[in-house]
Amino acid sequence: MLRWPVQKTLYILFRILTRLTIIGLDNLPLTGACIMVTNHLSVLDAPLIFVCLQRKDLAVLVAKKHYKNLFFRFIASQAKVIWIDRFILEVKPLKEISTYLKNGGIIGIAPEGTRSRTYQMIEAKTGAAYLASLSPDAPIIPIAISGSDGAVPKLLRLARPKISIQFGTPFRLPGVDRQDRHAGLQRNTIEIMCRIAAMLPEKYHGFYAGHPRIKELISTAETNI
């Protein structure tokens, strides 16, 4: 595995080719189980998160459709990769993820399940909330990425796109009632996405635009400054 030289090279390239701002990296625990959740705007998002991490125990959940993409597979292979089907709930990867978290690892997942073609947040699937329910003691780290949308064309024109990646305050979700699991997972999924949205400019809120929970989180953050 060429993790360190690949990570260092990508970091240098991002610093040279973009105007990259990294905020709140100290919110990411250096040890112990945790789940990173992020919005997904661009093919650059995963490498952006990767260059920020000091931890070597990252496992990323990647859709099987990306397996044939050699570049993406190479970057992903610098961490532990768990290949998942976005449309089928498979027992084997779920057990692998649960075991990895119980052993103190860090998991990264984009709750939306795919890159947004509108450059705004799309409705998320409940997979991230479900994973969190399997490991309720693992804190969740919301990550908000802005500016990566449209960055690739700018890079091709040798322009330096302005990109921001913010690591938010760790949080945990309430338990899910087995008698009404669907409603509980939906509620927790909305909480995850609102936590991410609260760190993003309003133009990215998309499906979650105007949600009162976003306003509440922003107000709380401003009060604590």
pTM of this prediction?
0.90
Residue that wins the pLDDT comparison between 131 and 197: 197
Give tens-digit pLDDT for 41-71: 998 998 899 899 888 888 887 777 666 777 6
| Strands 162-167 and 140-146, bridge-based pairing | antiparallel
The number of beta carbons lying within 10 Å of the beta carbon of residue 151 is: 22
Give tens-digit pLDDT for 141-171: 999 999 999 899 999 998 999 999 999 999 9
Residue 1 clears pLDDT 70, i.e. is over it = no
The domain 31-223 is placed in CATH, from the list 3.30.390.30, 3.40.50.300, 3.40.1010.10, 1.10.3720.10, at 3.40.1010.10
Q: Are 82 and 66 a contacting pair, CB within 8 Å?
A: no
Distance set, CA 152 to CA 74, 116, 193 (Å): 19, 15, 25
* Domains of the chain by residue range: 31-223
Token duo for residue 116:
């947004």
Give the mean pLDDT of the chain.
89
Q: What is residue 111's predicted lDDT score, i.e. its pLDDT?
A: 93
Task: Please tell me the distance from the alpha carbon of residue 107 to that of residue 101, in angstroms, as a whole number.
Answer: 7
Task: Please tell me the distance from the alpha carbon of residue 223 to that of residue 81, in angstroms, as a whole number.
Answer: 39
Task: Please tell me the distance from the alpha carbon of residue 210 to that of residue 188, in angstroms, as a whole number.
Answer: 18
The type of residue at 149 is D
Give the pLDDT band of residue 30 (cuts 50, 70, 90): very high
